[in-house]
Structure 1
């Protein structure tokens, strides 16, 4: 049900394995609903009440028994081999990120409990971030916690926005969800927010049942109906370059390509560099980098 998270729907004492099976069931149903019979060369027939494929059609395409697939989609404790999961992934037309997500939810990748402490970043990382100025740059993890940033990044979001959203770090997804329109720096929220939630969902597949991650998802769900609706779509995506648009009261509109760079030796963290999309954006980024430390502020209430 939209509006209820995994933590709310499962009974007290549910294990990480229980949570993964519940997530697996939801994911398979959502993927099945997105594939039409025409997509896979089947004749739709008459009086179809099911959006997308029927369970028996997925089973037929994957070469597995209908009962077995039904149990898999219901989250029952059954074993699935790598070969069978690949067949299901092909039947549902999953891409690479979705296929990896399916495998993790099915228990084909090791879980890590409890969640490790935030990584200790080398002092050289801050030097790298500062050297990238005037380009805004930050270190972000897959939950969108911002672990470190340079001056232009602070100027882009504003001094007040850089306060910790919850816990120890500023969280850019939280900021996008709760900032009022007058003070939200994101100018293409309708495109960026679904993408960020899909990246979070893909990362969550590696941490289902971990208290810190479950609490993070629950906190976002409790605060935002929009997040709950996006989370229920079961869409997953990798962290890769996409266009972000920002509004700044002094610089104006900025079109920047958020580019994710991996950090060797630091798991699930990226250096995110905001690269101007045009010559005009380059000029505005240079103006952004010349602003006094601290950036802009706002006084409206959240």
Structure 2
């Protein structure tokens, strides 16, 4: 059996297994006179708006390579979780699905503990729309205090273009702003969040002439997984960071960005500043 045939068989077997685990009653479908558990193939095909014959062939491992759109519709029809949907894409296309925007108010405690363990490297978790939903103490001290901002203002584009502190922090603000905007375009397009992007972009175009001009330039930057960032910190001076962007397992809509101090000296200066800021807090806690 060829690799392609084996993959098609795995996909078909998985789709069949998921279909047979669904309860027809939960979809308002009659449950009597069903010879096998789960939904019928034609019921899944109807929910996915595809041909019943083709869906049958997919389950039988002879339907050919489905498109990402078809796999997405089948995933919705089968009520797959995000992890199950990713598995279907890996079986059907050999790659995970593109990031899909979800409205996020935070992350799991496990992810927050991962961020906290990265000190003194500033680290944040952002959505496809570059809303920051989690951060560690080093990010608060080195980048900006996201916790002091209202949730709707914890957006990297808003920070770069509207906050004077962002300009003071950067050595070449315009280059950074263009880079951020070009990378944002790519992430937002992948996420399929047109309505949310339109609202954010519309607001920034109205209040920032520089954003308006850069947005009209239509630049995109796809290779933004890693690089070097220089900042001018108001207390400890110039610092360099090697930054890397990572996918969050099981959450294609989130990215982890880590700014690793480029030299041991930079790391020690950050540690020293974090320690100094922690000591007054510890004294306050002891007095209570």
| Aligned residue number for residue 211 of structure 1 | 195
**Residue 211 (structure 2) pairs with residue 242 (structure 1):** no
Moved more, 213-222 or 173-182: 173-182
Equivalent in 129, 153, 156 of residue 143 of structure 1? 129
2: CA distance, partners of 1:116 / 1:142? 8
TM-score normalised by structure 1 residue count: 0.53
Task: Give the length in aligned residue pairs.
Answer: 184
Residue correspondence of structure 1 range 19-98 to structure 2 within 5 A: none
Q: Any conservation in 2 of the 1:254–1:285 contact (CA below 8 Å)?
A: no
| Aligned residue number for residue 265 of structure 1 | 250
| Aligned residue number for residue 259 of structure 2 | 274
Cα drift, residue 170 of structure 1 = 1.1
Q: Give RMSD over aligned pairs.
A: 3.1
Give SS of 2:119's match: coil
Q: Any conservation in 2 of the 1:151–1:293 contact (CA below 8 Å)?
A: no
Structure possessing the higher radius of gyration over alpha carbons: 2
2: CA distance, partners of 1:253 / 1:127? 28
Q: Any conservation in 2 of the 1:134–1:288 contact (CA below 8 Å)?
A: no
**Residue 287 (structure 2) pairs with residue 287 (structure 1):** no
Change (3 A) 1:192 1:294: farther
Q: Which runs of 5 or more residues in structure 1 are unaligned? A: 1-81, 83-108, 296-302
Give SS of 2:217's match: coil
Which structure exhibits the higher relative contact order, with contacts defined as CA atoms closer than 8 Å and separated by 6 or more residues?
1
TM-score normalised by structure 2 residue count: 0.56
Higher helix share: 2
Residues 206-234 of structure 1, C-alpha deviations (whole Å, 9 max, x = no match): 35673222101111211211112221222
Q: Which runs of 5 or more residues in structure 2 are unaligned? A: 1-66, 68-96, 281-288
Cα drift, residue 290 of structure 1 = 2.1
| Aligned residue number for residue 133 of structure 1 | 119
Equivalent in 120, 123, 146 of residue 109 of structure 2? 123
Moved more, 277-286 or 148-157: 277-286
Give SS of 2:168's match: coil
Equivalent in 130, 138, 156 of residue 172 of structure 1? 156
| Aligned residue number for residue 188 of structure 1 | 172
Q: Any conservation in 2 of the 1:207–1:213 contact (CA below 8 Å)?
A: no
